[in-house]
Amino acid sequence: MANSRRLHFMIFVAPTMLLAIGALLLAIMPATPVAAAGQTLAAAATPTAVPIAPKEATTITVKANEALLTELPFDDQQDFEDAQRGFIATFPDLIITDTHGATVWNLKQYDFLTQEVAPPTVNPSLWRNARLNMNNGLFEVTDRIYQVRGFDVANMTIIEGDTGVILIDPLGTAETSKAGLDLYFQERGEKPVIAVMYTHSHIDHYGGVGGVITAEDAASGKVAVLAPEGFLDAAISENVFAGTAMTRRTVYQYGTLLPTGEKGEVDVGLGKGYPLGEITLIVPNDTISVTGETRTIDGVDMEFQMVSGTEAPSEMTIYFPQFKALDAAEIACPLLHNVLTLRGAQVRDAKLWAESLDEAIVKYGDKTDVLLVQHMWPHWGQENIVEYMANQRDLYAYINDQSLRLINEGYTGPEIAEVLRLPESLDQEWYTHGYYGTLSHDSKAIYQRYIGWYDGNPANLNALPRKMPPQNSSNIWAVQMPSSNAPVMILPRATIAGWLRS
C-alpha cells in the first residue's frame, strides 16, 4: 500500500544557521543610536554599545493591561485543564544539553512564570498564554497516542503501533527530540521507531530527526519517512534563498538576545522558544500527494489531507480512524497564526487556510473525538472540536474577506490594520487571539497578497529608501535646533542634500 518510490537518503547537519545567529548576535550588539539632548541623530550614530536597562511599565501600559482583565474571559480555565490533561511525567527543571555540555533547551529560566498574576510590564493575555506553554513532559492524548510537549517549540506526537512507535514531527534539534523520546521510553518502555512523519516543511518539525533515527535506517527502508509532496524543496528553499535576512529577522522576531524575565523575553506564542542544538534532515522515502491517500503502518491506519499553501508551502493533516483522532499539523493551533511571518516568508493564503479547515470539518468533523496539533495542546469532544475548527476557519476567512472589502473601498494596509476588529463571537474565544500572528500584520499580509507593496499614493511610488548608500540610515534625518523655545524640527536630510525624486 505504501508508495515505494525511494529517494536517495542523506543527513546533513546545518550548523550554518546557528553560526549565522552567533555572528548576528555580535553584529547587532551595538545599541541603536539614541540622540542625547543637543546632539544630532547623525552624531549619535557612532556605534558605541550603550546597555539599555529594562524599564518599569509606564502608567499608560499599566492601565491598558488592567483594562484587559475585565475585557477578556479570564474565568474560563478550560485551556489550563486541556494543557494538563493526560500528563504522565517530565524531567525536573528540563535543561537539555548537547554532547559538549552546552545548554540547548532550558525551561528553568522561565520559573518566573509560576506567578499567576501578570506583572505590570506584561500584557495579561500574553502572560496567560506563556503560562500555558510551560506545561511540559509526556502526555497521553488518547489510547495509543502520546505527545511530548515543552521540550522544544513544537510537539512530538508518538503513536503506538503493533510492534513499535510512529513519530510525528521529531522536534527542531537532535538533542530535544532524543530527550523527548527518552522520556517516552522511560515511561512506556523502549520500542523500535517504525516510522517518522513530517507534517510540514518548517524546521521545528523535522530538524530533530537525527536524534531519533539514523540516515542508514531510513536509507535501507527499515524506517519509513513520510512527508507531504514538495516537502524537501520547501524545507530547503524557504530557509536558503533569503536565509541570511531571515536569520537576522528571526533574532528580532523572537527576542533571541533578550534575557528571559518579566522585563525581557517571556514566550514566543507557539511555545517557550527555540532550542540551540544540532539541526538535521533525513530525506523522506514516502511522499503523500493527494487528499484521501491512505497508509497502514505497523497496524495503524491513516488518511491524509493536503493543506499545502496554508501555514506552510508543503503541509498535510493526518486522520487516524481507529482512534477517532485528527492531527491538524499546524493549521489549527489555539491562537491566531501568521499569514505572513515577520521573519520573512512568501505570503500565505488565508482563503485556502479557511477552506482547508472547512474541508477537514466536512471529512472528519463527525468522527473525531480528539483534535491534536503540533504546537500547544489538544482539544477533546466531537461537538467542541467542530465548533473550535469552525471558529478557526471563520477567523482566517474573516481576516481575508474583510481586508479585501476594505482594500476595495480604498484603504491601504496600515489603514486596514487600524480599523479591522474581530466580531465579538470570535474575539471572546482565547484561541483567536494574536499570540503569534496579529490582526494588524495579518491584514497587511492580505493587502500584500492581493495588491502588492504599492499603496496607490504617487508620492510613495519612488520613495527615498531608508538607507541612502553609502551613508548610514541615521543620515537621512537631521535635527535642526531652534534658536528659541520652539519645538525641535526634524527634517528629512534629503531636502538638504537635494535627493529629490521626480
For binding to Zn ion (CB under 5 A), which residues are involved? 154, 202, 204
Q: Which is nearer to Zn ion, 124 or 269 (CB)?
A: 269
Q: DSSP letters along 237-250, please?
A: HTTTTTHHHHHHHH
Q: DSSP letters along 293-334, please?
A: -EEEETTEEEEEEE-TTSSSSSBEEEEETTTTEEE-TTSS-S
Measured from the Cβ of residue 435, the count of other Cβ atoms closer than 10 Å reads 25
The amino acid at residue 59 is T
361/424 Cα distance (integer angstroms): 23
CB 377 within 8 A of CB 82: yes
Q: Which is nearer to Zn ion, 384 or 438 (CB)?
A: 438
Q: Which is nearer to Zn ion, 278 or 315 (CB)?
A: 315
Residues contacting 317, CB < 8 A, separation 6+: 199, 304, 305, 307, 326, 327, 328, 329, 331, 360
DSSP code, position 43: G
Q: Which is nearer to Zn ion, 154 or 445 (CB)?
A: 154
Q: Which is nearer to Zn ion, 161 or 269 (CB)?
A: 269
Instruction: List the beta bridge partners of residue 157.
Output: 147, 168
157: nearest Cα among 329, 400, 290? 329
Residues contacting 20, CB < 8 A, separation 6+: 243, 244, 247
**Crossing angle, helix 243-253 and helix 15-27, to 10 degrees?**
60
CB 309 within 8 A of CB 206: no
CB 136 within 8 A of CB 171: no
Q: Which residue is nearest to Zn ion (CB)?
A: 204
How near is the Cβ of 99 to Zn ion at its closest, in Å?
A: 25
How near is the Cβ of 317 to Zn ion at its closest, in Å?
A: 14
Q: Which is nearer to Zn ion, 33 or 269 (CB)?
A: 269
Kindly state the cell numbers that stand for 306.
Answer: 493536503
How near is the Cβ of 198 to Zn ion at its closest, in Å?
A: 11
How near is the Cβ of 97 to Zn ion at its closest, in Å?
A: 23
Kindly state the cell numbers that stand for 15.
Answer: 550548523
Q: Which is nearer to Zn ion, 202 or 433 (CB)?
A: 202
DSSP code, position 41: T
Q: Which is nearer to Zn ion, 350 or 417 (CB)?
A: 350
> In 112-182, which ranges are E strands?
137-142, 145-149, 156-160, 165-168
How near is the Cβ of 312 to Zn ion at its closest, in Å?
A: 8
How near is the Cβ of 272 to Zn ion at its closest, in Å?
A: 13
Q: Which is nearer to Zn ion, 204 or 267 (CB)?
A: 204
How near is the Cβ of 38 to Zn ion at its closest, in Å?
A: 48
Q: Which is nearer to Zn ion, 197 or 476 (CB)?
A: 197
How near is the Cβ of 280 to Zn ion at its closest, in Å?
A: 16
How near is the Cβ of 279 to Zn ion at its closest, in Å?
A: 14
How near is the Cβ of 435 to Zn ion at its closest, in Å?
A: 13
209/222 Cα distance (integer angstroms): 15
370: nearest Cα among 356, 354, 386? 386
